[in-house]
Amino acid sequence: MAEPVLQADGLVKHYPLTRGVLSGRRVGAVRAVDGVSFGLHRGETLGVVGESGCGKSTLARLLVSLERPTAGSIRYRGEDVTRLSGRALKAVRRNIQMVFQDPYTSLNPRMT
């Protein structure tokens, strides 16, 4: 089988929890995405479904490099996107996009 167009391996995104305005002491972390892996081949579509607050949007933001992962890697056509910046990152972003479903229009009975 051919190499995946988009591949995520062990994606992790944790946001630090701090206590105190001045000290900024770290007291924990919110685990938004924890260990997501998949491979997306040419012609395939990936749908991410889950409860509110389960990390769907965070995963999408990681995939288009709007956020940096705490751990793991994202490869687009064999190139590690997590290490790109500047023009190279802009070029990759032109080819990857998020499409959010609007539940009100998707469940409209007049739109069959």
Backbone phi, psi, residue 51, to 5°: -65, 165
The pLDDT tens digits for 6-46 are: 999 999 999 988 887 777 788 888 899 999 999 999 999 88
Predicted pLDDT of residue 59? 93
The pLDDT tens digits for 70-109 are: 999 999 998 898 888 889 888 888 888 777 777 666 666 7
The answer to whether 42 touches 95, Cβ cutoff 8 Å, is no
Distance from C-alpha of 29 to C-alpha of 41, rounded to nearest angstrom: 33
Backbone phi, psi, residue 11, to 5°: -65, 135
Distances (CA, A) of 51 to 15, 27, 33, 61, 75: 19, 26, 13, 17, 26
Domains and CATH numbers, the chain: 6-106 (3.40.50.300)
If pLDDT is split at 50, 70 and 90, which confidence band does 111 have? low
Predicted pLDDT of residue 74? 93
